[in-house]
Amino acid sequence: MKVASFEDLKVWQDTRDFVKSIYEIATTDSFKKDYGLKDQIQRAAVSIMNNIAEGFERNNNKEFITFLKYSKGSAGEVRSTLCCLRFELHFESLF
């Protein structure tokens, strides 16, 4: 199957679903106290999806790979932010 646009990419479709999940998580009570953390995780998640799209649109495999690496970095940022949230929730439970 020929991929005509970034929307055809399975990885982009999966990432779109992931972004939806992150936005749902960001509306939970855990994020109500920390708007900065909420903004950070949402922006990082969207960055994953946008970098896949931008890299594909470059029509150059080398550049596409570069943008996939950027996406991977943004995925690490999301994971790190989730770790901060877990730490914050654990810390609050101590008091």
Q: What is the pLDDT of residues 5-16, one digit of tens each?
A: 999 999 999 999
Q: Average pLDDT of the chain?
A: 90
Residue 48: CB atoms within 10 Å: 25
Share of residues in the chain with pLDDT > 70 (%): 89
Backbone angles phi, psi at 21, to 5 degrees: -65, -40
Q: pLDDT at residue 93 above 60?
A: no
Instruction: Return d(Cα 64, Cα 87) in angstroms, integer.
Output: 35
Six-digit token pair at 29?
């009570």
Tens digit of each residue's pLDDT (9 = 90 or more) over 61-91: 999 999 999 999 999 999 999 888 777 665 4
Model confidence band, residue 94 (pLDDT cutoffs 50, 70, 90)? very low
| pLDDT value, residue 92 | 54
Name which CATH class applies to 7-93. mainly alpha
Task: Classify residue 44 by burial, with Cβ atoms within 10 Å: 0-12, 13-18, 19+.
Answer: buried
